[in-house]
Chains A and B, each alone.
Chain A
């Protein structure tokens, strides 16, 4: 319950905004002929107050059923309950009415009011507008229905506002070409299946020594040639029209995850201990190899340039370059998965960056930045971890509560609640400080800095990270001498080396050498 209380974002400001939105609603009521209920949501008055609610026709599967529609300034929102009743799947609503989950053919979609993020497996999608709750249940944008039913259910939607009609049609099943790649590195075999788009699918690992990808709805075209499989833990790979079967080496176990742009389904295959024979009718023993994940966040990107030097060197560019170098160095030193929040010059909301790390259940999160200050003399690297502002007493309460139980996995939050919980980082401050200290020590040594210590600041990007998280400022773009250095690939290498050394030294709480890989019970 602590988490829920703290999760309500923004404290006092939020309350003021809520009052404002109630005021707007009251005025709207007084202003006259607003059809049906004008309803205030909790925040952002202009965006979250329905202009009016109405009933449209959901026209699909040869049936016509009424569906409640909330007309927002940014487009219509549709009743998720009606949609699921008519189009299939199951809808589960959390006890507080916040988290909503739709399951369709084994794929789960998580979303809730007040967040434009939806999670599909390990993927996070951004909606153009947030779902809004109310007396008629949660209403969601068309894009959410498309996300659920286009990819997984093969349905297409056409909304005719004039007719108030939402027409649903079934798209013809496509044949998706698959490409296959296998690498064997550091005791892990990695199989990458690449598709032109995310297919509707389910991974079945219930049989020991085998993993089966069931393609639902679509058909697949196997690759013309297959890679050689004479080493590593993948023995064989077979393609059917709607399934891909992986045969694993004796005793090996596979863990799958998804990557986007382009869409890839990845299997890490480990030489795990031979699983015990499962009793008939029971699920397999809950034991799975697990490779640790580090998420590197190159700061800024896209239209957000970040700081820039007088001669035009951009923070967003150097941050991405450093992130890529660091990824290579970490992968060479540690058996781990390293994921960049952005691997291109693209806009990425601050909250999404930590949410990506949360979804991947990453062990560590590091955000890379370049500094700038007043004048031109400031120089050197600085490492930050989150500071909880004393004026936000609830954040402090969360930190206090977190110090009682320090195991994040013992926290009974669902994934959705976790990604919506904007102060998740308050549970991990001690380990964040530890990591920040190691990083700053290595940077001080590499750059011969003397008086630099670890700093704290309320940085948005760190707020929601549900794991130890730090932000590194590598140098000052306001200092011409440092700009010259930051341009130099050798200097960039030195900086990345310093961070990699810190990660090698890092130990999670309890001194478990978690970053060295190994097995964890699930």
Chain B
């Protein structure tokens, strides 16, 4: 093994450790905003609380109300939201924004309100290239759903298989975090 590889693996190892620590801090509430209930108390799932945004063939995002366990920190809530998006809509005529093989990798909420969301897929080493409408709907389905439901999230930085990419799927700028886009949401 070359020295360079060695350094890289050490760096990755330490990074994983840091992420785990951060995740633990979140889980224990030490890192997030003060919460009403104290740690250890049984939490009641908050139902009917989330709005998911699914792409429609009309080029817009359509709201779907879901009962989703809203307990835990921002990381767990984001994981559940995105997993629900990947699983697909209940409404006929709407679409799942991401390939079914996609999973949620690491999630990290920075203090400035940027949520780093790593989407993983072994089937797609890079996000499947598509036309820009599909790309925009897919990205903002995730971004609007996360920003609209996870407290404190101002923008989402999308990563794919651990990498920050210039574009999400060929056109859309993902070198910086993207805020929600309300104009894409269907009013009807």
Contacts and interface: CB of A to CB of B under 8 A. Distances in A.
A associates with B: yes
Interface of A: 9-13, 16-17, 20, 23-24, 27-28, 31, 34, 45-46, 51, 73, 300, 304-307, 315, 350, 369-378, 382, 384, 389-392, 395, 457-461, 463, 471, 473, 476-478
Contacts of B178: 389, 391, 458
Given A12-B114, A73-B4, A459 B171 contact: yes
Contacts of A471: 132, 171
Listed residue (A12, A45, A73, A461) with the most chain B CB atoms within 10 angstroms of its CB: A12
Contacts of B116: 16
A391 B173 CA distance: 13
B129 A12 contact: no
Contacts of B179: 389-391
A372 B131 contact: yes
Nearest to B178: A389
Interface size, B (range): 35 or more
B15 A23 contact: yes
B27 to A, nearest CB: 21
Given A13-B177, A307-B129, A459-B132, A374 B57 contact: yes
Given A12-B114, A374-B134, A463 B177 contact: no
Contacts, number: 140
**Majority SS of interface residues in chain B?**
mixed
22 contacts: A11-B176, A12-B114, A12-B157, A13-B157, A16-B116, A27-B11, A31-B6, A31-B7, A31-B10, A45-B11, A51-B3, A305-B129, A369-B131, A371-B133, A373-B134, A375-B57, A377-B57, A389-B176, A391-B114, A459-B173, A460-B167, A473-B132
B3 A31 contact: yes
A77 to B, nearest CB: 16
B137 interface: yes
Given A306-B129, A372-B133, A373-B134, 14 more contacts: A10-B175, A12-B110, A17-B164, A24-B7, A27-B14, A369-B132, A370-B131, A374-B137, A377-B57, A391-B114, A391-B155, A458-B173, A459-B173, A460-B167
A420 to B, nearest CB: 14
B170 A23 contact: no
Contacts of B130: 307, 372
B177 A23 contact: no
A10 B178 CA distance: 11
Given A23-B11, A31-B6, A378 B133 contact: yes
Contact of A27 (B10, B56, B166, B173): B10
Nearest to A390: B179
Listed residue (B11, B56, B110, B114) with the most chain A CB atoms within 10 angstroms of its CB: B11
Nearest to A392: B176
A16 B137 CA distance: 27
A125 B87 CA distance: 45
B136 interface: yes
Interface string B152-187: 001101000000101100111101111100000000
B41 interface: no
A384 B131 CA distance: 13
Nearest to B136: A457
Contact of B132 (A24, A304, A371, A375): A371
Given A304-B129, A478-B131, A13 B175 contact: yes
Nearest to B112: A12
B55 interface: yes
B95 to A, nearest CB: 4
Nearest to A376: B57
Interface in B107-142: 110, 112-114, 116, 129-134, 136-137
Nearest to B13: A27
Listed residue (B14, B113, B133) with the most chain A CB atoms within 10 angstroms of its CB: B133
Listed residue (A34, A307, A382) with the most chain B CB atoms within 10 angstroms of its CB: A307
Contact of A20 (B15, B95, B166, B172): B15
Contacts of B95: 374-375
A476 B15 contact: no
Contacts of A73: 4
A9 B174 CA distance: 11
A443 to B, nearest CB: 15
A350 B166 contact: yes
B139 to A, nearest CB: 10
Contacts of A478: 131, 134
